[in-house]
Structure 1
């Protein structure tokens, strides 16, 4: 078919149709090309400005007012029992041990189905605390051995499944809570026992306070992220600085024959042991999948959540005081 309106004429590598002929589409093609070029030259529309995000206010993660109130109340009870009747403070330690054992064994039973016989553990725990005060380290070790034996025998009254697991956990609990607490009783037994115990408590509490204050303000790098997301390296330095300062002042003015440089060593070691104790209990709670060991103390959690840094610090402070100033 011959159509005179189309002429295939190559020009600059393109095939074009004669202008003005029937079916002429050159004007449409040119307009389309012009529109496309203009579209390419147009700058993209600016994206809307994102709304400013308000700064996140740091939070302690607990009811701070309740925590302070409970802490002050506990401190008043402890100081009153320390300096009025020594035996009363032994009773306070024994009560804390029993409640702590109840919390620990309850969580182990709930989360891991570990059945620890609480009766021999609690009775043996009280015996350890009393023996440590009355007979020293020898009495504490004898009570620990008898408590372990009682756990082994008591667990025999139940089915044998998981016997080894349960008694192992029971002996661990006996060592972790009451046996470490006996070093507080042994400190108390010295002539200046109340002052030794007060120094021990001050160093641990001030170490925790320094870790919280400095870590909350300056903490950026985590100390042990897989164990405790709240512990920072800055917090550890804060704990050491606060505890060393408190140790120097305490040894100089509260302990007979104490020297300020001994307090620096005491504060350093106490801060490290308190931090390790806190991390140790955090490891247990991570394994159990819980945040706190209990809810008995508003703003604090359970008794075990307060004993975590005290328990491992007690033997350290007891030993260093014996080395520096004797048994008293």
Structure 2
């Protein structure tokens, strides 16, 4: 299992590295779209929806529109119409018992699509190469530090009812690891960067990423599954690997493009 995890992680890391270095914004948009779409299908399948069911189609549409809307004149009616169609389908097909499942999957589609669109938005920012690398390194350092600190120190569980293996020490270690990773990368890649701003970005990414991981764990428990899928040997599903990224990305995009407002 460990060998599988390492091989899968290395291959996935090389793909991301290649796309970021050589494929530009278009390549990154395609990679994020495919990964997010896989996550949406896994989310739908966890709650009994098959890949060809309307709720899954809605997920694919939501991903595309979430990236398209910010670059167009958005009208709230379009969003309402899309949601109305999805929720009306089980009524007019005489399957009203599906309403609860449709509500969950439609919400999940929007939540995941917003994360995917924000990952694309980070790369599309001015100096986007710097921001997307800062974001990813913060997230990776948070996961790595949380894993090793949690195993070494152990101690009280964070939320055992949702994720039995996560500890308070691991969560704190993840926050510290993200801050260190963000500051070190920022100082190397962009020496005029404000260390406090870098630390704030790293802390935000780690905090929201950990919340995102817990959110997906809660959904998996509600669905009665251990992993979101089997696409990644040794890791489970795609959603198991990108859940924290998709949850943290909208917060990071908001903070960098709005709150910082030219501090760096």
Bigger shift: 149-158 or 83-92? 149-158
Deviations 1:156-200 (A, max 9, x none): 552242354244223311222111221111111123212211211
Verify: 1:261 aligned to 2:199, yes or no. Answer: no
- Cα drift, residue 212 of structure 1: 0.2
Cα pair 1:251 1:262 within 8 Å, conserved: no
Tell me, yes or no, if the aligned pair for 2:66 and 2:113 is still in contact at 8 Å.
yes
Q: 1:194 to 1:151 in 2, by over 3 A?
A: farther
Match of 1:324 in 2: 260
Report deviation, 1:227.
1.0
Could you give the per-residue CA deviations for residues 213-272 of structure 1, whole angstroms, max 9, x where no partner exists? 100111121111111111001101110111110121233333585311111112222221
- Of 56, 61, 64, the residue aligned with 1:126 is 64
Task: State how 1:109-258 maps to structure 2 within 5 Å.
Answer: 109=48, 117-132=55-70, 135=71, 145=80, 147-162=82-97, 164-255=99-190, 258=193
What's 1:284 paired with? Answer: 219
1:106 equivalent in structure 2: 45
Q: Give the total of aligned pairs.
A: 260
Q: Which one of the candidate residues 74, 77, 92 is aligned to 2:12?
A: 74
Backbone CA RMSD of aligned residues: 2.7
| Aligned residue number for residue 249 of structure 2 | 314
Q: Once structures 1 and 2 are overlaid, which stretch shifts more, 87-96 or 193-202?
A: 193-202
Give the gaps of 5 or more residues in structure 1: 1-62
Instruction: Give the drift of 1:148.
Output: 2.4
Q: 1:100 to 1:146 in 2, by over 3 A?
A: farther
Report if aligned partners of 1:281, 1:308 keep a CA contact under 8 Å in 2: yes
Moved over 6 A (4+): 140-143
Secondary structure at the counterpart of residue 96 of structure 2: coil
CA displacement at 1:295 relative to structure 2: 0.8
Flag the 1:260–1:139 CA change in 2: closer, same or farther, 3 A.
Answer: farther
More deviation in 205-214 or 161-170? 161-170
Which residue number in structure 1 is paired with residue 34 of structure 2?
95
The alpha carbon displacement at 1:282 in A equals 0.9
- State the alpha-carbon separation in 2 of the partners of residues 149 and 251 from structure 1: 45
TM-score by length of 2: 0.88
Structure 1 pair 289/170, CA: closer, same or farther in 2 (3 Å)?
A: closer
CA distance in 1, matches of 2:32, 2:77: 19
Once residues 5 and 193 of structure 2 are traced to their aligned partners in structure 1, the CA distance between those partners, rounded to angstroms, is: 33
Q: Partners in 1 of 2:54 and 2:83 — Cα distance?
A: 12
Q: Which has the larger radius of gyration?
A: 1
Identify which range, 248-257 or 228-237, moves more after superposition.
Answer: 248-257
**Deviation string for 1:80-121 (max 9, x for gaps)?**
2123221011001110111111111111017xxxx7621232
The answer for unaligned runs of 5 or more in structure 2 is none
Q: Deviations over 1:119-175 (max 9, x none)?
A: 23212322323445xx18x75978755542442354455224235424422331122
Secondary structure in 2 aligned to 1:162? helix
**Secondary structure class of the residue paired with 1:292:** coil
